Amino acid sequence: MADRLPRVPVREQAPEVRATNFEEVCYGYDEQEAMLEASRCLHCKNPRCVSACPVNVSIPEFIAAVAAGDFKGAASVIARDSSLPAICGRVCPQETQCEGSCILGIKSEPVAIGKLERFVADWSLQNGSCDAEKAPSNGYKVAVVGSGPSGLACAADLAKMGYDVTIFEALHKAGGVLEYGIPEFRLPKEKIVAAEISKVRSLGVRIETDVVVGRTVTVDSLLDNEGFSAVFIGSGAGLPRFMNIPGENLNGVFSANEFLTRNNLMKAYRHDYRTPVYAGNKAVVVGGGNVAMDAARTALRLGADTTVVYRRTEKELPARREEVHHAKEEGIRFMMLSNPVEILGDEKGWVRGVRCIRMELGEPDESGRRSPVPVPGSEFEIEADSVIMALGTSPNPLIARTTSGLETNRRGCITADEDGATTRPGVFAGGDAVTGAATVILAMGAGRKAAAAIDRYIKSRNA
Amino acid sequence: MFEVISKEMLSPAICRMKVYAPRLAASARPGQFLIVIPESHGERIPLTISDYDSVEGTVTIVTQRIGVSTGEICALEAGDCFSDVVGPLGQPSDFVGQSREELAGEHFIFIAGGVGTAPVYPQVKYLKEAGAHVDVIIGAKTSDLLIYKDEMRQVCDNLFICTDDGSEGFHGLVTGLLEKLVSEDGRRYTRAVAIGPMIMMKFAVQTARKLGLPITVSLNTLMVDGTGMCGACRVTVAGKTRFACVEGPEFNGYDVDFDEAMRRQGMYRVQEHEAEVEYEHECKIGRTR
């Protein structure tokens, strides 16, 4: 029986080795391993994995192709619904999506859908299959703001439909959070991110870097003066949150965004780049999401003894389970049910420690998670010479403030309907700019929906 | 790529460049700044905008060689290219939104220190064209380091020079000269703007406070992206944390916590020094990357 076969383990760098380098942790399956793992799929009549996938990839169908050794066929099945499979295979929270609803997971372990997706995508990048079909040019120009997951997906779909697409990127490199946020050891930049972006470029999409929409140009000027028929805003959620506690502006306190941007986008870990970075000897990372795990594991690799401080328990950690597991293997300490109340400084204004308070879990809040409540009189101090705040991010207000007729909600997210249509005709939005910080796959899905809506919008106006 | 159209040395360590960046040149306003990356492995370096010309499509930047990255900028020649130039960043100066009628009644005094003189120039030019009265103090350690004297003279009402060593103009600091102009010479100003080293701005604010003069300062904090993403530039203004890159760079001088701002400016001093030592070594052995 196929379901008796245990999940095929994936090869990884040994924890003690990878804790000192920035190479990718996971090596991925080879062909034999992938085919063996694919043979575990039960091909359920009603595949719950498909409905649990935010973009409804035909999972059993691509897995069947892998099992048969038809990797090219598998790639084209995935390509119907996902434009960034090499990335999603690496960074999707599979345990709460496809794999979380796999029937095999009830009694043993679910099929390694993420690892199989990654295998197929990597195979296809290496073997150059899956040339996308492109409609002839229709002469209409569409601008895309931001070159992260939603912008890339939207641009790729529009280009395939025959639109003349320009992406405007504020930073000097394309990729958005894939480039500045997610570390090399989880998502290799040259091999994967640059390769996916060059696929989008090969569809004819132009990417203009160093353009801050809202400053260098505005959405209004793109529509009114530069001849764009529609604009898609996929500017993400880049604004870091702080705790607003005493000592947060001491030297040695960073947002995870700063710490990760210095290291990922600006390559501070590499000797041939100029960027300085400071991880200290004892780093404390505050938060429990993927960004907190990324910051902690980066600090560790830069040589700091690293502790994650989180106000709930391990069960509530919002990070991908694999990241938490990897972080623990690498030697990161977790201090649960603790919350900083003050950052302590020395006489020169540098961090020397963190005063925390113990927490306990109370009633569930609106997110359904039990909300943490401080235990009176339980303050304690821990030593630290760097503190990294990974408390979540919100959308940058720059675009909303400089675009007429664009509404946002009280959290600063752009108001958009199911298809990404905003309150301003011709302006569409999707991804974290609309939802607040979420996942790559949701952003990609939103970008694709908006591409279809933009196509309908432009056609209806020019019918 | 962003080509250097022209370059000249204003002093042995200060260079002025015109750089082709048409989108930036078309949207820049007084008070804003930009970020450059001299070569692809370099840092993102925030610099003030010293002038812009939307017809030519150029922006002018003035850089003093103080470390590795500013050294890389000054090493570029006409015809070379910056890897990246992005902007304009930050908010335009407050007065950019004011009408001619409002500005006609204003008497500005600008206090410019060192390379901080360069970003004062477009502000003075703008105000003069808008009909305001504008006087300017330029201060430097010594006469050789004074820049923009001739350019400034053409756009302001009165130019006052001071040097720490007395080699030109008033012998003393900008604060001493400001106090003299108001208290001894009886000049009346309605607003002051100080741009220069953090320490100069701190003391300029103290002097302005004593004279009852409202004062705006332009903060040159550390930054990575310059668009509100990293928070490296955070400063305490009126007791609240603000991001200099998107909410500034100009703030009401009375409200700025300068001691914190100066301390935060030195966050990477150790790494900067190490980089400098290594860079000197690379240059000596002629290593190219």
Q: Which of B193, B218, B243 is the last residue of a domain?
A: B218
Is B149 in the same domain as B191? yes
Give the ranges where B131-173 is alpha helix by DSSP (H). Answer: 149-155
pLDDT at A3 over 60: no
Is B163 in the same domain as B112? yes
Cα(A354)–Cα(A457) distance, integer angstroms: 53
Cα(A415)–Cα(A422) distance, integer angstroms: 6
CA of B271, closest CA in chain A: separation in Å? 6
Among the partner residues B229, B241, B271, nearest to A276 by beta-carbon distance = B271
Among the partner residues B24, B228, B263, nearest to A398 by beta-carbon distance = B228
The CATH number linked to B25 is: 2.40.30.10
The SS3 call for residue A220 is helix
β-bridge partners, B22: none
Among the partner residues B230, B246, B263, nearest to A261 by beta-carbon distance = B230
What's residue B283's pLDDT?
63
Among the partner residues B41, B229, B234, nearest to A249 by beta-carbon distance = B234
Pairing of β B2-11 and β B14-20: antiparallel
Residue with the bigger pLDDT between A127 and A61: it is A61
Cα(A98)–Cα(A59) distance, integer angstroms: 8
Q: Which of A177, A209, A215 to mutate to test the interface with B (most CBs of B within 10 A)?
A: A215
Burial per residue of A189-224, b for 16 or more beta-carbon CB atoms within 10 angstroms, e otherwise = beebbbbbbebbbeeebebeebbbbbbbbbbbbbbe
Is B213 in the same domain as B149? yes
At A423-450, the pLDDT tens digits run 999 999 999 999 999 999 999 999 999 9
Is B52 in the same domain as B114? no
Cα(B185)–Cα(A255) distance, integer angstroms: 49
Give mean pLDDT, residues B149-172: 96
Searching chain B, which residue's CA lies closest to the CA of residue A266? B43
A273 with B41: Cβ contact below 8 A: yes
The three-state (H, E, C) secondary structure of B85-98, written as one string = EEEEECCCCHHHHC
At B46-66, the pLDDT tens digits run 999 999 999 999 999 999 988
Pairing of β A253-255 and β A386-389: parallel
Is B105 in the same domain as B9? no
Percent of chain A with pLDDT over 90: 89
pLDDT at A112 over 80: yes
At A132-142, the pLDDT tens digits run 678 999 999 99
A210 with B266: Cβ contact below 8 A: no
CB B72 within 8 A of CB B36: no
Q: Is B135 a member of any domain?
A: yes
Q: Is B197 a member of any domain?
A: yes
B224 with A276: Cβ contact below 8 A: no
What's residue B222's pLDDT?
93
Instruction: Name which of B37, B113, B98, B91 is nearest B68 in CA terms.
Output: B37
Q: Is B235 a member of any domain?
A: no
At B94-141, the pLDDT tens digits run 999 899 999 999 999 999 999 999 999 999 999 999 999 999 999 999
Give mean pLDDT, residues A322-345: 97
From chain B, pick out residues whose CB is under 8 angstroms from the CB of A275: 43
Q: What is the mean pLDDT of chain B?
A: 93
Is B168 in the same domain as B64? no
From chain A, pick out residues whose CB is under 8 angstroms from the CB of B261: none
Is B17 in the same domain as B111? no
Q: Which of B43, B82, B219, B230 to mutate to test the interface with A (most CBs of A within 10 A)?
A: B230
pTM flag (> 0.80): yes
What's residue A2's pLDDT?
47
Give mean pLDDT, residues B227-248: 94
pLDDT at B288 over 50: no
Q: Is B277 a member of any domain?
A: no
B86 with A211: Cβ contact below 8 A: yes
A257 with B231: Cβ contact below 8 A: yes
* Cα A146 → chain centroid: 14
Give the ranges where B50-148 is alpha helix by DSSP (H). Answer: 68-74, 100-104, 117-129
Q: Which of B74, B89, B104 is the last residue of a domain?
A: B89
User: Chains A and B: how many Cβ contacts under 8 Å?
Assistant: 110
What's residue B54's pLDDT?
95
Largest CA distance in chain B: 61
CB B268 within 8 A of CB B20: no
B185 — pLDDT class (breaks 50, 70, 90): very high
Among the partner residues B229, B234, B289, nearest to A238 by beta-carbon distance = B229
pLDDT at A130 over 90: no
The answer to whether residue A398 neighbours chain B at the CB level (below 8 Å) is yes
* Cα B97 → chain centroid: 20
Instruction: Name which of A418, A442, A331 is nearest A96 in CA terms.
Output: A442
Percent of chain B with pLDDT over 90: 85
What's residue A189's pLDDT?
95
Is B111 in the same domain as B38? no
B89 with A274: Cβ contact below 8 A: no
The answer to whether residue B275 neighbours chain A at the CB level (below 8 Å) is yes
Q: Which of B73, B86, B257 to mutate to test the interface with A (most CBs of A within 10 A)?
A: B86
CB B195 within 8 A of CB B201: yes
Q: Which of A168, A210, A217 to mutate to test the interface with B (most CBs of B within 10 A)?
A: A210
Give the ranges where chain B is alpha helix by DSSP (H). Answer: 22-27, 68-74, 100-104, 117-129, 149-155, 174-179, 198-211, 244-247, 258-265, 269-285
Is B82 in the same domain as B104? no
At A214-253, the pLDDT tens digits run 999 999 999 999 999 999 999 999 999 999 999 999 999 9
B286 — pLDDT class (breaks 50, 70, 90): low
Is B69 in the same domain as B161? no
The CA–CA distances, whole Å, from A303 to A36, A284, A323, A354 equal 39, 13, 19, 20
Q: Is B284 a member of any domain?
A: no
The answer to whether residue B44 neighbours chain A at the CB level (below 8 Å) is yes
The CATH number linked to B149 is: 3.40.50.80
Q: Which of B218, B249, B283 is the last residue of a domain?
A: B218
Burial per residue of A58-81, b for 16 or more beta-carbon CB atoms within 10 angstroms, e otherwise = bbbbbbbbbbeeebebbbbbbbeb
CA dihedral for A392, A397, A398, A404, sign (positive or negative): positive
B86 with A170: Cβ contact below 8 A: yes
Number of domains comprising chain B = 2
Is B107 in the same domain as B213? yes
pLDDT at A83 over 80: yes
The answer to whether residue B24 neighbours chain A at the CB level (below 8 Å) is yes
Cα(B224)–Cα(A305) distance, integer angstroms: 25
Instruction: Supply B280's token pair.
Output: 């000197």
Which residues are within 8 A (CB) of B57 and not within 5 positions of it... i.e. 6 or more apart? Answer: B20, B21, B22, B25, B26
Is B154 in the same domain as B137? yes
Which amino acid is residue B156, in one-letter code? Answer: C
Which residues are within 8 A (CB) of B284 and not within 5 positions of it... i.e. 6 or more apart? Answer: none
The answer to whether residue A338 neighbours chain B at the CB level (below 8 Å) is no
Domain range for B41 is 2-89
